[in-house]
Amino acid sequence: MTPIVILYVLFVFRLKMENPQDIFSSNGGCVRDIVIEKYLVESKESASHVQLACSMQHCAFPLDGNELCIWNTEDPSHQLLILRGHHQPITAMAFGNKVNPLLICSASLDYVIMWNLDECRKKVLQGLVPRGTVMGSLLGKVLCLQLSPDDQVVAVCAGNKILTLDIETQAVLAKLQGHLGPVTAVEFCPWQAGIIISVSEDRGFKVWDHCTGSLIYSSSVLSAYPLLSLFIDAGSRQLVTGCADGQLWIFSLMDGHHYRRVARVDLRKKTETFFTRRVKSGLYSQPEESWLPSTSALGKGEQVGVTFPILRLAPCDLSRVPHSACGCLSSENTQCLWIGSSVGLFVFNPANLEVEAALYYKDFHSLSIPLAGSCALRSRFADGKALCLLASLFGGKIAALEVDPAALVVAQQCPRVEQGLSVPASSCVLPTSPLYLGIAKEKSTKAASEQQRAKRNIMKDQFLVFHSKIKSSGYASAPHLTMFSPKTNIKSEGKGPSRHRSSCTWEAYAVDCTVPAKPGPRVTAAPARTRVCCIQYSGDGQWLACGLANRLCLVFDASLTGTPAVFSGHDGAVNTVCWSHDQRWLLSTAQDRTLRVWSARRTELALLLGKDMFSKPIQSAQFYYIDAFILLSSGPEFQLLKYHIDTCKDEIKRYKQRSKSKLVCRLSLTDAGDVTCLSAVNDFYSHIVLTAGRNRTVEVFDLNAGCSAAVIAEAHSRPVHQICQNKGSSFTTQQPQAYNLFLTTAIGDGMRLWDLRTLRCERHFEGHPNRSYPCGIAFSPCGRFVACGAEDRHAYMYEMGSSMFSHRLAGHTDIVTAVAFNPSAPQPHQRIRPFIYDFIKFFLVKSTAGHCRMTSDARSKQVLGMASSLLSL
């Protein structure tokens, strides 16, 4: 073995304190606490594209090509240990996972050497020449090294093959071949012994069992660019890999998920959204110099195409971020990722797929490396700070940085101190509030309405002629015997719901229920492939209303049996149906620019708001404030209407509508864009109205104050087409803070879960395909699940604690347009409806009938029987 000469050299380094721009000082934090360049050394040969290494208190990097330099960050004398033994330039190095003994492995074209740093230091102090252990020689160009969690095995990535070597015996345990390009990163699975995962320049990843030397899984080609980095999150059991073009791919490693993709993230776009949202929300002022290279260069005509190659991934703990001072991070979203790129460092949150903070090297004038070619990151548990080792892309500079992630996040994301927003009303209605005016008018008109009702009763008993004297008809003889008495108390099956007809047992909603996974009966909602636009359960869970594209509204019994009640009158596709809180009224809107309120019991029109009131179609409408108001959006504004429904008919003027409505207030979005959707709670008193606009923003209005309360800029990459609040139901109770959660969805951007108190995205769900058609979403009454439609003819179920869908419900024959949970029971109630989903499925099959009906003839029963047999397979 070639003798290895080890020299212990004392270097004098330049200690550089940070003096960056003042762009971080807007929140009163000390800029010097964010990043400090601890040391800088310049090598004769460039260390770009070399795998650097960091441990809790050590940094390792090549010096002058073939010298391994170890720096102890805790040593006050700044002494460096330089190990010489490689004859060729060092290409990769990696620390072990144990502290005692601390191992480091280095590789070059000639040797792969394992070093015990404790023994090396002891022998140096004794004046002896310590030696490392040669694990292998002439293995090829090694781009990556990785030690197992127990430091018993080292994975050596040489070319397109992976060698697993036993550290104690230096024996080759397995030779893994299958990649078509050089392997760039490899990781051991923390919870499965013997499993390693590798990525390569062939743009895919592979899962291996290195104990048997077999391939378990091979992915398809993920990107047009090589995969450079890899990280395995043991907490969420996810695989994260980064590409050379700045794309981040996340896959699930849970049992039964079969390595399904969770998300794909464009780091450059996410960073642009981060800074755009930060400026548009008004929380911060625009800095003098843009932080984002791509945006600042666009105006100068330089660097139009900027990519962020992801060089290294490492865990980042944000639990030290002071919640009282910042309030921007929930306790569940503190486990993030460090992303080391060529242009900067980024804190990425895998729960909501958002960038929490960004640090660009060029923004700190005292940093010596503005563009990195290699990067190593490691978080320290003692103080929560991160150690970052950078090698310049051009030249031989190597710098060690100390970054405080808590200070970085607080400096960039701490919002202004404002009064907290809450969906449940936390204060009384102000005298100047539009809600107060509506309630006051309701009280003042109650006595008048009673008087008018008494007058109508008097008029009802009058003769239908206009003479005071009526000539006798001559039929003054004794009454004839009753020959026939019709039975008039027959209940019609085609009528709508009635509060007195409900005979179900009101039971508490089981909050520990499982996800519904068994398909149930399907019904024909409309003929000729008519689209079902919207569905909604009544508050008691006994009735299901749906709006169709053929201008009809149908009300089904929750068991999907019997003939549905038909509400006809619209002249366009029905896009909204909404039940009142007391289930007496059904509201519907359509593309004909009309709003109709129906008597759900008698299927009669009770209130009509015509086309002359709205210049554009009504996008959203609902009852609000426990049926005290009607809330609707049309064009660039939403309106709050006070209404009065009078179903009594004048015997002479039956055509005249007695119901009336009055505009209380109208509010427009901040930028005067069109409102795409809105949402408010009607089950309890709430002053909050959530709206979404064409400019991809979500705006929060406080109707107690009668103004806009907050704006969430860049909520999605496309306009939001539905907002869904966690409203619960009358059968279950949630924590008060749970009602502050709401969902938004947009085409091509999945679903986002928001917290109204922090105005932050807490989780991102995008495992379902939704690229071109608006699909509906829904909260479960218990608040534990989220359902959504998809374009692959499936309905997807998510658990709130995971970004990956838990179940995919099959059986549909077309795009799933809407979903709805039954508010009364999580699982099928055997006395009411056997074996049905919590949300109802509508299968639109062809029918020769010209009206909307359920299939009841022999042919329809045969179709449904065939469908049921197929679903049971």
Q: What's the mean per-residue pLDDT of the chain?
A: 80
Q: What percent of the chain lies above the pLDDT cut of 90? A: 53
For residue 859, the model assigns a pLDDT of 36
pLDDT at residue 568, as a whole number: 93
Query: Any residues with CB less than 8 A from the CB of 732 and at least 6 apart, and which?
Result: 508, 509, 511, 781, 782
The CA distance from 654 to 314, in Å, is 74
DSSP character string of 404-426: -HHHHHHHHHPPP--PPP-SS--
CA–CA separation, 115 vs 171, rounded Å? 17
pLDDT at position 23 is 35
Q: Is a pLDDT exceeding 70 seen at residue 830?
A: no
Higher pLDDT, 23 or 375: 375
Task: Indicate the range of 459-468, 525-534, 844-853 predicted with least confidence.
Answer: 844-853
For 54-97, what is each residue's pLDDT tens digit? 998 899 999 988 899 999 888 766 678 888 889 999 999 999 99
DSSP lists the bridge partners of residue 551 as none
Instruction: Answer with the residue of higher pLDDT: 813 or 177.
Output: 177
Going across the sheet that includes 688-693, the strands are 675-679, 688-693, 698-702, 707-712
How would you classify residue 47: left for phi > 0, otherwise alpha for psi between -120 and 50, otherwise beta? alpha
pLDDT-based confidence at residue 335 (cuts at 50, 70, 90): confident
CA 225 from chain centre, in angstroms, equals: 27
Q: Phi then psi for 799, rounded to 5 degrees?
A: -90, 145
Percent of the chain whose pLDDT exceeds 70: 76
- 446 burial via Cβ count (<10 Å: 0-12, 13-18, 19+): exposed
pLDDT score of 332 more than 60? yes
Q: Which parts of 187-243 fold into alpha helices (H)?
A: none
| pLDDT for position 467 | 54
Instruction: Domain 6-285+306-413: give its CATH superfamily.
Output: YVTN repeat-like/Quinoprotein amine dehydrogenase (2.130.10.10)
Q: Identify the residue whose tokens are 């139901």.
A: 729
Tokens of 316: 């980042």
Residue 359 has pLDDT above 80, yes or no: yes
Average pLDDT over residues 539-561: 91
| Predicted pLDDT of residue 838 | 35
pLDDT band of 812, cuts 50, 70, 90: confident
Predicted local confidence at residue 290, as pLDDT: 39
> 354-373 b/e with 16+ CB inside 10 Å = b?
bbbbbbbbebbeebbbbbbb
Cα 19 to its chain centre, rounded Å, is 37
- Report which secondary-structure segment, H or E, holds 119: helix 117-125
Predicted TM-score (pTM) of the model is 0.81
pLDDT tens profile 154-182: 999 999 999 999 999 999 999 999 999 99
pLDDT at 470 over 80: no
pLDDT confidence of residue 419 = 64
User: pLDDT tier at 22 (50, 70, 90 boundaries)?
Assistant: very low
Three-state DSSP class for residue 646? coil
Q: Which residue has the higher pLDDT, 459 or 168?
A: 168
Q: Where are the domains of the chain?
A: 6-285+306-413
Tell me the residue type at 289. E
What pLDDT score does 869 carry?
Answer: 37
The answer to whether residues 50 and 65 touch, using CB atoms and an 8 Å cutoff, is no
Residue 606 pLDDT greater than 50, yes or no: yes
Confidence band, pLDDT 50/70/90 cuts, at residue 665: very high
pLDDT at position 832: 28
Q: Do residues 803 and 767 make contact, with C-beta atoms less than 8 angstroms apart?
A: yes
Can you say whether residue 697 is alpha, beta or left, with left for phi > 0 and alpha for psi between -120 and 50 degrees?
Answer: beta
Decide if pLDDT at 843 tops 60: no
Provide the pairing of β-strand 543-548 with 67-72: unpaired
- Of 142-156, 276-290, 484-498, 817-831, least confident by mean pLDDT is 484-498
pLDDT at residue 607, rounded to an integer: 93
Q: What is the spatial distance between Cα 628 and Cα 814, in angstroms, rounded to a whole number?
A: 38
704-730: average pLDDT = 93
Quote the CA–CA distance of 687 and 424 in Å, as a whole number: 8
Q: Give the helix/strand (H/E) hosting 261.
A: strand 261-266
Residue 652 DSSP code: S
Using a 10 angstrom Cβ sphere, with 0-12 exposed, 13-18 middle and 19 or more buried, the burial of residue 736 is: exposed
Query: Which tokens belong to 474?
Result: 């001559």
270 contacts 354 by C-beta, under 8 angstroms: yes
Q: Is the pLDDT of residue 619 over 80?
A: yes
Query: Does the structure show a pLDDT above 80 at 299?
Result: no
Please write the tens of the pLDDT for every residue from 83-134: 888 999 999 999 999 988 899 999 999 999 999 998 888 888 887 877 889 9
Q: Where is average pLDDT lowest: 257-271, 490-504, 587-601?
A: 490-504
Q: What is the structure's pLDDT at 125? A: 81
Residue 556 in this model has a pLDDT that exceeds 80: yes
Burial of residue 9 (number of CB atoms within 10 Å: 0-12, 13-18, 19+): exposed
Query: Per residue in 415-443, pLDDT tens?
Result: 554 568 999 998 899 988 999 865 555 55
Predicted local distance difference test score (pLDDT) of residue 279: 77
Looking at residues 205-228, what average pLDDT do you find? 95
pLDDT at 365: 85
Please name the residues in contact with 843: beta carbons below 8 A apart, sequence gap of 6 or more: 522, 523, 524, 525, 811, 812, 813, 867
Coil/strand/helix, residue 866:
helix
Highest mean pLDDT among 218-232, 272-286, 611-625, 825-839: 218-232
CA distance 8 to 535: 75
- The predicted pLDDT at position 286 comes to 40
Which carries the bigger pLDDT value, residue 381 or residue 646? 646
**CB neighbourhood size of 284 (10 A):** 18
Q: What is the mean pLDDT of residues 728-734?
A: 86
> 474 falls in which pLDDT band (50, 70, 90)?
low
